[in-house]
Structure 1
Amino acid sequence: MLKSITLLTTLLLLISCSQVSNQNPLHTASAALPEHRQSDFQSYLSDTRTWLEQQRVFVSADKQAELNANMPYELPPADGQPPQKAVLLVHGLGDSPFFFRDIGAELSKQGFLVRTLLLPGHGSRPADLMLADSDEWQEAVSHHTRLLQQQVGEVWLGGFSTGANLVTSEALSNDDISGLLLFSPAIVPESAMTHLLPVVNLLSDWLDQESSDGNYTRYGSLTTNGATQYYYTTRQVRQQLVENTYDKPVLIALSADDSVVDSEAVKSLFEQRFNNPASKLFWFGETTETTDSRIEVLTSRLPQLQISNFSHMSLLFAANNPFYGRNGSHRICENGQTEAAEKLCPDSNDLWYSNWGYQEADKVHARLTWNPYFDRLVSSIKQVTSAK
């Protein structure tokens, strides 16, 4: 979804380009966004499902699967015991709670009460991100954090991409949070031009306006306002990190080749501003210069699996995920390659996998959508969250 933000050098061209007709219901906003401040989580779930049933523009024949993928959810501890610890997981821009299916299940096995959010503007139709506001996203995270803290004493926050920005901001202002789990945290954008987004938002509604490719777990189009609100989350959390260090445990998983995030800058923030000795950063890439023993480098070039490098989204999913896994039902062929390569991708029997925008002669690359080191990541999550 954030691929458009990595192409901000073409923003002025996008303003003048013709756009897909707004007659497409995907590109027509709902009248209003749903309420997210219910007094209990079950009411939030019930109200959100009702709203999605009424407002979602379905993109596949399986409406129930679409609803389930976009619904927030709760998982009790897998051992059936009353929860002693809990975690709130927050998805990224244009994404859905589905992105935590694998991580959430593993956290449940580790004894967590797991909850996910659906950020306002998500789950229904891409045009609803015209109505989104980063302050409302932050308030939703704060509200549901408080609901968890009323129920469980030890509360962790986890987030992917934009969601990682939001939960980090919450933790920096809420001393009662026990720690953070951050997956591809989009704290520092790869593009140096994201500061232009608020201006472009005054001139153009869309950064990327597409018809659906059948992927019901995330939006295929991106409004300029949605990207602008993402930018505001980066500005907020970076300012907080200038003024504060974070001394609770944190696990960060980061691709060195992330097309959305300035990975080196985020690594530097980890070294300088996240100072708990039990913290851990997984660097999925080749070697990197560091003297910080808390950083573990795991090679991202795995020819035996036909993986060239890791993508922004790949860190979250297990290889056996039925939708995004190695043999999953959905393949992302729109991957910043040549048009010829993208045409070959759907039926290729010799497919490689990479981040968005990676190209290599004589190879066709789809997006890498699973993590070969998933079990190792899960094991480290347990170590970090057990640290006192």
Structure 2
Amino acid sequence: MTPKQSKKKRRIVKILAIAVVGLVVTFVVVDLIYTGIVRKRQAKWEANVDRNSDGVRRGCEAFTVGSGDTALLMVHGFSDSPAVYKLMADELAEKGYTCRAMRLPGFAEPYEAFAKHDRQDWLQAIAEEVTSLRQTHDEVWIVGHSTGASLVTRHVLDHPDTAAGLALLAPLVEVSGKRSPVLSPHAWFKAIGALLMFTDRIETCFELDINSPEGRTVIIREQFVPLTTIEETFAIASEVRDRAPEITVPVYTAVSAADKIVDTEASVRFFEQLGSARKQLVRLDASGHVIPVDYGWQTVCSDIDAFIQASTAVQ
């Protein structure tokens, strides 16, 4: 290499080094600015949130309706609350069930409380609710929506004799890539997360995947979500993804054909691999992701009732 070529090479390396440092500095500055903006917006949002004496956002409390011998434990999903089951719980209570819509620990609580909970806390809370219901009812079925469906699946994997069956609504097996260009959602999350120094929460930016105007008035979701909660959501889906053959209890599953949140075909593959002797899959064409409040929720209630009755009859 001639002195002239060597000098040119050093100049290129120097330029590249400056460019890399510039990119890193820019990313750090943007990260810091974003953190400040989000925390300011969150403080403003929090000032207008009405909470009860326990710090839980009003309208998001756990609730129980109905007084049947069969209990339905209803578990909400990511960035959600028990309010998502208000319509279904009332309908199924009319059909003779005790409907218990639980609140997962941390959800609908102030950010500091929200951020300290993980999937082990959520699973423990589900186990406690199931234990309590089993003491007062002939049998317990568990209904789970989205991440809640992943959690109740994991519960049955860990405690197979505690639930008579499952109803999985838009179960999270894989996150949909419809809103994620080039890389998978988890790949983007991991890549960006590895670079973040200051950001520990995000503001929900996507519109609710609900087609029904009525459904939009029922839902109460989290506006700001800890990054740790997102990671826990990916983790619980990963933990159950390949274990469908181990599930042997009866399973009813409803999926949305146009779901923008979960990968519907991954959910269908999971259903097909279930080890359950009794299982039923329903595809909803008019519903978005939030099946419990979207078009067709009444049909889902009737389906669940018929599925439980048929499953009980063959025991």
Would you say 1:156 and 2:156 are equivalent positions?
no
Contact kept in structure 2, 1:94 and 1:126, CA below 8 Å:
no
Would you say 1:312 and 2:289 are equivalent positions?
yes
Over 3 Å counting, the alpha-carbon distance change for 1:125 and 1:383 in structure 2 is: same
Greater Rg by CA: 2
| Alignment correspondent of 2:174 | 188
- The structure whose residues are more often helix, as a share, is 2
| Alignment correspondent of 1:94 | 79
Contact kept in structure 2, 1:255 and 1:312, CA below 8 Å:
yes
Cα RMSD (Å): 3.1
Contact kept in structure 1, 2:173 and 2:270, CA below 8 Å:
no
Aligned pair partner of 1:176 in 155, 162, 165: 162
Over 3 Å counting, the alpha-carbon distance change for 1:26 and 1:131 in structure 2 is: farther
Q: Which runs of 5+ in 2 are unaligned?
A: 1-26, 178-183, 209-215
Would you say 1:22 and 2:25 are equivalent positions?
no
| Alignment correspondent of 2:24 | none
Over 3 Å counting, the alpha-carbon distance change for 1:16 and 1:374 in structure 2 is: same
| Alignment correspondent of 1:205 | 200
Q: CA deviation at 1:148?
A: 1.0
Matched residues in 2 for 1:168 and 1:15: separation? 42
Contact kept in structure 1, 2:241 and 2:270, CA below 8 Å:
no
- Can you list the C-alpha shifts for 1:133-191, whole angstroms capped at 9, x where unaligned? 11111111111111111221300011111111111111222223100111111122224
Give the structure-2-normalised TM-score. 0.73
| Alignment correspondent of 1:227 | 230
Superposition pairs of residues 308-387 of structure 1, within 5 angstroms? 310-313=287-290, 315-317=291-293, 370-371=294-295, 373-386=296-309, 387=311
Give the structure-1-normalised TM-score. 0.60
Matched residues in 2 for 1:233 and 1:22: separation? 27
> For 2:164, what is the secondary structure of its paired residue?
strand
For 1:238, the aligned partner's letter is: R
Contact kept in structure 2, 1:256 and 1:263, CA below 8 Å:
yes
- Can you list the C-alpha shifts for 1:19-78, whole angstroms capped at 9, x where unaligned? 22524454899xxxxxxxxxxxxxxxxxx953126xx5xxxxxxxxxx1x210011132x
Over 3 Å counting, the alpha-carbon distance change for 1:381 and 1:209 in structure 2 is: closer
For 1:312, the aligned partner's letter is: H
Contact kept in structure 2, 1:91 and 1:159, CA below 8 Å:
yes
The alignment-based identity, stated in percent, is 23
| Alignment correspondent of 1:289 | none
| Alignment correspondent of 1:245 | 246
For 2:304, the aligned partner's letter is: I
Q: CA deviation at 1:385?
A: 0.8
| Alignment correspondent of 2:70 | 85
Q: CA deviation at 1:196?
A: 5.8
For 2:132, the aligned partner's letter is: L
| Alignment correspondent of 1:73 | 63
Matched residues in 2 for 1:14 and 1:127: separation? 24
Over 3 Å counting, the alpha-carbon distance change for 1:49 and 1:172 in structure 2 is: farther
Matched residues in 1 for 2:274 and 2:30: separation? 41
Q: Which has the higher contact order (CA 8 A, sep 6+)?
A: 2
- 147-156 or 195-204: which moved more? 195-204
How many corresponding residue pairs?
259
